[in-house]
A and B are shown apart, each in its own frame.
Chain A
Amino acid sequence: MTISVTDLTVRYGEKVVLDDISLDIVHGKWTCLVGPNGAGKTTFLRALLGMAPYSGSIKDRGHEVFKNHKRNVAFVPQSPQIPQGMTVAEYVMLGRSKRDGWGNDSLLSREYVHKVLTQTHLFGMQTNLVSQLSGGEMQRALIARALAQEPELILLDEPTSALDLHHQISVLNNIELLKENGVTIISTMHDLTLAAMFAEEIVVIKNGRILLSGESNFVIHSSELRKAYDDRIDVYTLESGRPVVVAKKKGLI
């Protein structure tokens, strides 16, 4: 039960964005892709989604993923296109289209959306327009739509980047809910402390190559992680054993 990535290369025109990557991602776990901006993390997610043309192979449970619409994969983008005039209920309902067929509104789906809205604390806002939601509410609406999809795999691009600390934790807890239902989670994340706290596996990417991948506590304390960030980070361990990653400032210890 893995997603096997073999010799994956993705090019945008002349530019090589992902360079000969091989990796096994275990289903049922939370895997986090980390690395500096421009490392190729989002492109990797697009390739895993099956949308970006690639050479090499990505096999999900033995099936090539490119343009394979049989998989049920949810995608949560970093900056979503916000549809003007659409209500929260309509927006979350879109997530049911793969289960239910487009625009069927079956009773089961409407009950499911009701449940998901409650779970993500959006219930009561279902008639609000998505264009008028705050950053945190919008992120929850995105997660709610992904939950409504009942996916086997969810891909999240920087799910916490626009949020304050309180909302970051609440969104990540919502994502963790999915794991209890056996959903595989692959996310990118800038905040390494949060990545170490939630993800079980971490993959370090730089310049389109994988520097290291493995169990998150191991990766966080590795020298490869520091190398990925040009040795500009420090890793501390709290008394509880939790790692904390902070940026270095010149002249400070």
Chain B
Amino acid sequence: MMSTEHGAISRIWNWRITAFCALILLAVAIMAVSFGPISINFFKVFKTLFDLPGGSTGQDRTVILELRLPRVILGALVGAALATSGAVYQTVFHNPLADPYLLGAASGAGLGATIALTSTHHDLHAALPIFAFAGGVLAVFTSFVISGKFFADPNSLLLSGIAVGSFATAIQTYLQQQHSAALRPVYSWILGDLTSATWSVVAWSSIYIAIALVILFTVAKQLDGLMLSDEEAYSLGITPKRLRIIAVAAATLATATAVSASGLIGFVGIVVPHLVRGLTHRVTNRSLISIAMAGAAFLVLADLGARTLLSPAELPIGVITAFVGAPFFLVVLRNRRKVMQ
């Protein structure tokens, strides 16, 4: 793999891996649009999507373009956002178990959603994404402020994130106990689902997620420097504090958007980065684009499972990500250990 050629070490990252992830994402997406309670021919789907002659018409066309396509795209966006944020958090905090919800984004968003759902004004229910988004961003911001010295030490930020998260969860539980009628919608939101996907949800969430991902992909190569101590990173030309703030802010924007669009979908942020790194034997953040595409493919596939396995009923997507992700993850971990030995 990293053999030598002409007295030079081989490239650290290979574009073929990125291309492979892109192909998988495309294949999974077309498959997800084709399958469902109404099965539609693969080629017809392809032709409809690219507006070629011979595409579906009538009801099939509506199912493809108005129901399945926005859902697949939202799934891909959320998957990409969570996987990329997870990978970035793992690098910034030197912690392989860091996930996008670490700094209180999930609990904050959960609290925001609960406030919206338990509110007596029913108009507020529709504003759930805004509440969730604000809650998530506010929780992470609070963690920043409490950790003091504005991010001198990643560990203190991590600890204050945990404290803020617990606090938000406590308030959330209190509110839920007070309004038992809201328990069910809150829990179904917590388990995550993509049923709310419409073009308008896709439109607003894609803007924020795209901004965040573009920022993260731009700094991706430099993020490798954050795996070292601050002095070493600085000597390699990085300003570590500034880069950390940029990376965490962008990852938080992506996470908060994903959470407010689809609830709390667990496991993607941890499993997918490790999966890509484990399969390629490369820890470098140059894999960030591949991780994003793998995350997108993973979530689209999980959502396909969620809406077809118990069809016409739907499973919460979080159940699928954990059910499929966990064993797969363990196999990769095991193989990686074998390679190390």
Where the two chains meet, the residues of A that have a C-beta atom closer than 8 Å to any C-beta of B are 46, 49-51, 67, 69, 73-75, 77, 80-81, 83-87, 89-90, 93-95, 97-98, 102-103, 105, 107, 110-111, 113-115, 117, 126-127, 129, 132, 149, 155
CA distance A90 to B11 in the complex (A): 9
Cβ of B163 < 8 Å from any Cβ of A? no
Chain A contact surface mostly: mixed
A-B CB contacts (within 8 Å), total count:
107
What is the CA–CA distance of A85 and B96 in the complex, to the nearest angstrom?
10
Structural contact, B224 and A114, CB atoms closer than 8 A: no
List of B residues within 8 angstroms of A46 by Cβ: 231
In the bound complex, residues from chain B placing their C-beta under 8 Å from that of A127 are 1-2
Which residues of chain A are near B237, meaning CB under 8 Å? 69, 97-98
B307 at the interface (CB under 8 A from A): no
Task: Select which of B13, B224, B229, B234 is within 8 A of A105 by beta carbon.
Answer: B13
- Check: B126 CB closer than 8 A to any chain A CB: no
The tally of residues in B whose CB lies under 8 Å from a CB in A reads: 36
A77, A86, A95, A113: the one within 8 Å of B9 (CB): A113
Q: Which residues of A contact B94 (CB under 8 A)?
A: 81, 83-84
Least CB distance from B101 to A in Å reads 21
Q: Specify which of A73, A102, A114 lies most central, judged by the most chain B CB atoms within 10 Å of its CB.
A: A102
Please give me the residue from chain B that is nearest to A46 by CB atom. B231
Contact status A75-B231, CB under 8 Å: yes
> Contact string, B97-137, partner A, CB cutoff 8 A, digits 1/0?
00000000000000000000000000000000000000000
Does chain A have a CB within 8 A of B180? no
- Are B227 and A77 in touch, CB under 8 angstroms? no
Contacts of A80 in B (CB 8 A): 228-229, 232
Q: Which A residues touch B220, using CB under 8 A?
A: 103
Given A80-B229, A103-B221, A85 contacting B4 (CB threshold 8 A): no
Given A110-B10, A111-B8, do A77 and B222 touch, yes or no (CB 8 Å)?
no
Is B11 in contact with A126, judged by CB distance below 8 angstroms? no
Whether B277 is near chain A, meaning CB under 8 Å from some CB there, is: yes
- Given the known interface contacts A89-B2, A102-B222, the answer about A83 and B12 at a Cβ–Cβ threshold of 8 Å is no
- In the complex, the answer to whether A110 meets B236 with C-beta atoms within 8 Å is no
Indicate whether A87 sits within 8 Å of B7 (C-beta atoms), given known contacts A75-B234, A103-B13, A103-B221: no
Nearest-neighbor residue (CB-CB) of A96 within chain B: B236
Q: In the complex the two chains form, is B228's CB within 8 Å of A73's CB? A: no
A46 to B235, CA, bound (A): 10
The smallest beta-carbon distance between B271 and chain A, in angstroms, is 15
Interchain nearest-CB distance for B231 vs A (Å): 5
B286 at the interface (CB under 8 A from A): yes
With a CB–CB cut-off of 8 A, which chain A residues contact B146? Answer: none
- What CA separation (Å) do A149 and B228 show in the bound complex? 15
Residue of B nearest to A102 (CB): B221
Inter-chain CA distance A89–B3, complex, in Å, is: 11
B4 near A93: Cβ-Cβ < 8 Å: no
Q: A83-B224, A110-B11 are in contact. List 10 more A-B contacts (CB 8 A).
A: A49-B231, A49-B234, A69-B237, A87-B283, A97-B221, A97-B222, A102-B224, A111-B7, A127-B2, A132-B340
Q: Nearest residue in A to B223 (C-beta to C-beta)?
A: A102
User: Is B225 located at the chain interface by the 8 A CB criterion?
Assistant: yes
Sample 27 A-B pairs with CB under 8 A, ordered by A number. A49-B231, A51-B231, A69-B239, A74-B235, A75-B231, A77-B232, A81-B227, A81-B228, A81-B229, A84-B227, A85-B283, A89-B9, A90-B12, A90-B283, A93-B9, A93-B12, A94-B228, A94-B236, A97-B225, A103-B13, A103-B221, A105-B12, A110-B8, A111-B6, A113-B8, A114-B8, A114-B9
- Nearest-Cβ distance from residue B67 to partner chain A, whole angstroms: 41
Query: Do residues B222 and A83 form an inter-chain contact, with CB atoms below 8 A?
Result: no
